[in-house]
Amino acid sequence: MEKLIITVIKINGKCPVFKVGDRIVIEGPQVKLEETDAICTHAFASLIPYIVALRKGIKPSELGLGKKDKAYVQCLDPGPPYTEGGTVIFEITVVKDEAEKSVENSKRGNR
């Protein structure tokens, strides 16, 4: 099962919800609340299409969002001078569990 770790890496302007280093952890279809620092509805609206795609195994590079196992997405709040908030930039890391890695490696070995 794909696990996604979404980390705040930069904030342009000010964000009333997140600080740099905050994380959202997704495992399967579930937000792991005990491992998550904060959730913002504006940011989640920006993240959700990519969460679904990355969970389905689409690579960040295929989405045009990054390289290898990391994707980069930003919050939809444009920040000053348009709003009082700020744009948050997230790094989404795809983490595969050990069982999945073993299956993947055995498939490659059989080719």
Domain of residue 40: give its range. 3-109
Binning pLDDT at 50, 70 and 90, where does residue 30 land?
very high
Specify the pLDDT at position 98. Answer: 56
pLDDT of residue 44 exceeding 50, the answer is yes
Query: Which amino acid is it at 31?
Result: V
Stated pTM of the model:
0.84
Residues in the chain: 111
pLDDT score of 32 = 96
Rounded Cα–Cα distance for residues 23 and 63 (Å): 22
60-88: average pLDDT: 91
CA distance 97 to 44: 24
- Look at the chain and report how many structural domains it folds into: 1
pLDDT band at 105 (very low <50, low <70, confident <90, very high): very low
Q: Which positions ≥6 away from 50 have C-beta within 8 Å?
A: 63, 65, 71, 73, 92
The yes-or-no verdict on residue 38 having pLDDT over 60 is yes
Buried b (16+ CB within 10 A) or exposed e, 35-65: eeeeebeebeebbeebbebbbeeeebeeeeb
